[in-house]
Amino acid sequence: MTTTTDEANVPVAGVAYDAQVLDATLAALREQPIGPAEKGFTALAPLTPADLVERKAGLRTGELTFPLMVLRETALAANVSTMAAWCGERGVVLAPHGKTSMSPEITARQLRAGAWGITAATIGQVRAYAECGVRRILLANQLVDPAGIGWLAAATTADPDLTVYVCVDSTEGVALLDEALRAHAASRPLPVLVEIGVPGRRTGARGHDAAMTVGRAAAAAPMLRVAGATGYEGVLGHGRDEPALAAAAEFCQEVRALGVALREEGLVDVPDGRLLLSAGGSTYFDVVAQELTGVPSSTVVVRSGGYVTHDEELYGHATPLPTGGRPHELRAALEVWAYVLSRPEPTRALVGAGRRDVPFDVALPSVRAAVGPDGRRRDVEGVRVSALNDQHAFLDLPAEADLAVGDLVRLGISHPCTAFDKWRLVPVVDEDDRIVEVAHTLF
């Protein structure tokens, strides 16, 4: 568990994960046969991830099919340790957003590095992580699904070590949650975070007074207990200019003020008396740490998820810890490799990776490198992805470019949260492009 000498921000009591359950989950996944339907592994006989590591399969050993998304071990490991150190130095704890990868292997790295818990976006993600051994989960969303509430009531009743925090932003949501928990005979009250939002944007009560009304309703509900305040400043955008940073800071100050007011009115009910304050995507976690810390007897939970793999575009430009930053830096760990299938015109090439393989919601992939069948590097200056179909990427390139049919192209991606859901297995490779682990996803 992450610890800090800052009394105002030491972690709340509890255990982030069950090491035995997590280890057993990872061991089972290592021995789980890989079928030919898995992208990248079609040409292999039914092998296990452990087999692939043992035989030192790699990107260019002739065993894998393409397209293929891979993780770079050195960058992945560095990002995990960098963020853990950064949070420790600033007196905040980290509950990485699990929706980014939904990978037990990646989550294990984060927990073992001292994560306070894991953040989830849906009740399905909560269950997936609970079954992997995570014991402290922050559901950064509203929960109104009767079946989901029923499962949560049963799960927390069966496992006294499982703690799930849920967000509330309306009196209607409070009533629904409380009534459903009572109907399902939950054994203990559910800790909730009162969420404040931004007008015209996503969830969260609109304004301090509305949020306080929600907090009073939650405090009065028999099956709920108010643990603190939360919000998501990422709805404000991804800019790092002064107006954007000021807007993020102002919003975080609203979260802080809400938490303080909830406690001053006697609405906060937590076993250790510590107020929970939480915010933080992958763009403004520095602002979150700056604005939320310093409240006596509080724990500040940062929920960044994209940091773990970073990327070449969105977070490469928007993160507080850009590549090359000192003393901390984040590095792009995700790559998608695909073959050049066709060059029907001098200035057009088609690569075998499309919307089913790469994210495109924020920006198109970028061409970072290319390698010929003989291992020689191609010049990719001026080569760019201009469009995507389901299975193809359209490349615009100079007529004199030496990119040829059969070359392998490395694509950098933008927004890892919409990359992982396209893959069930993601090889982790070393600097020699050999597989050292296979990350599973639970989408």
Mean pLDDT by 10 residues, the chain (443 residues): 42 77 98 95 92 94 96 97 95 97 98 98 98 98 97 97 98 98 97 96 96 99 99 89 94 98 98 93 91 97 95 81 71 97 99 98 96 95 98 98 97 96 98 98 95
Count helices and strands in the chain by DSSP H and E runs = 11, 17
Give the 3-state secondary structure of 254-286: HHHHHHHHHHHCCCECCCCCCEEEEECCCCCHH
Task: Give me 339's structure tokens.
Answer: 């073959």
Q: What stretch(es) of the chain map to CATH 3.20.20.10?
A: 72-318
**Looking at residue 297, what DSSP letter applies?**
T
Task: Write out the two tokens for 16.
Answer: 């982030």
Alpha-carbon dihedral of residues 265, 293, 251, 107, nearest 10 degrees?
Answer: -110
The whole-angstrom separation of Cα 258 and Cα 340 is: 54
> CA–CA separation, 402 vs 430, rounded Å?
27
Residues 6 or more apart whose Cβ sits within 8 Å of residue 62: none
Q: Exposed, middle or buried: residue 363 (CB in 10 Å: 0-12, 13-18, 19+)?
A: middle
Count other Cβ atoms within 10 Å, centred on residue 241: 8
Other CB atoms within 10 Å distance of the CB of residue 112: 14
Integer CA distances (angstroms), 422 to 120, 251, 338, in order: 18, 33, 15
Tell me which amino acid residue 351 is: V
pLDDT score recorded for residue 280:
81
Residue 347 in contact with residue 398, Cβ under 8 Å?
A: yes
Residue 298's nearest CA partner among 278, 273, 266, 274 is 274
Half-sphere exposure of 299 (CA within 13 A, CB side): 23
Top CATH class, 334-412: mainly beta
What's the pLDDT score for residue 2?
A: 37
Mind spelling out the 3-state secondary structure of 186-231?
A: CCCCEEEEEEECCCCCCCCECCHHHHHHHHHHHHHCCCEEEEEEEC
Mapped onto helix, strand or coil, the DSSP state of residue 437 is strand
Task: Tell me how far apart the alpha carbons of residues 268 and 225 are, in angstroms, rounded to a whole number.
Answer: 7
15-48: b (≥16 Cβ within 10 Å) or e: ebbbeeebeebbeebbeeebeeeebbbeebeebe
CATH 3.40.50.170 fits 72-318, yes or no: no
Stated pTM of the model: 0.94
pLDDT of residue 323: 54
Backbone angles phi, psi at 406, to 5 degrees: 95, -10
* CA pair distance 396, 339, nearest whole angstrom: 15
Length of the chain: 443
Using the structure block, give the residue that is written with the tokens 């037990």: 104
Tokens of 55: 């035989």
Q: Which regions of the chain carry the CATH code 2.40.37.20? A: 334-412
**Cα 175 to Cα 170: distance, rounded to the nearest angstrom:** 9
Q: Rounded distance, CA 193 to CA 137, Å?
A: 12
Measured distance CA(57)–CA(59) in Å, rounded: 7
For tokens 């452990």, what's the residue?
50
Q: Which residue has the tokens 């996803």?
A: 441
* pLDDT value of position 325: 60
What's the confidence (pLDDT) of residue 7? 47
Strands 425-429 and 384-388: unpaired
